[in-house]
Amino acid sequence: METVKNINVVWRFHAFDLISFNAEERAPNAEKIDLNKINFQLSVDSQINQAEKKVILISSVEIFSNEAHTELLGTIRTKGEVVIENFNEVVVDKTRLPIQLMASLMGIQISTTRGMLKLLSKGTVFEQAIIPIVNPMAFFPPGSIRLEK
């Protein structure tokens, strides 16, 4: 079992970009979508560039009209890059980043994607839907993220 150690992480945003956005436009006579039935399929992939001290996060969200995922209403993909200035101090056993750090960065990525989706979805069938708040720790099994060699 790992010992809990407090680390002061020095980081900064390097970039945040929209990769893609697709949405069904609302027809003037379109039937309203039940906001209580809208379902979001969310995933966040991470890449760690040790040489550049950079964490790259790519979030993908698919918006469906129901829990069965039979009607896709739209998608958004975003990419965030964070530089960890004291990367070598943060790395655990020269192979891992602390899961708490990765979860915090994923939480920021998801929140920023949520805001971007809200702005871009105006005029779509799901413009009133908001990505729910999720616990980023749910994306990880016990342990930490391994660095690519």
Q: What is the pLDDT of residues 36-63, one digit of tens each?
A: 889 999 999 999 998 999 999 999 999 9
Contact criterion met (CB below 8 Å) for 18 and 116: yes
Domain count, the chain: 1
Q: What integer is the mean pLDDT of 17-41?
A: 82
Cβ partners under 8 Å of residue 81, min gap 6: 13, 14, 15, 16, 54, 55, 56, 57
Asked if the structure places residue 100 within a domain, the reply is: yes
Does residue 2 sit within a domain? no
* Domain of 77, in residue numbers: 11-25+33-146
User: Would you state the structure tokens that stand for residue 120, as one six-digit string?
Assistant: 């871009």
Question: What one-character DSSP code corresponds to residue 128?
Answer: T
Does residue 37 fall inside a structural domain?
yes
pTM of the shown model: 0.83
Read off the CATH number of the domain in which 47 is found. 3.10.420.10
Looking at the predicted structure, is the pLDDT value of residue 96 above 90? no
The answer to whether residue 70 is domain-embedded is yes
Tokens found for residue 80 = 């965030």
The amino acid that residue 10 corresponds to is: V
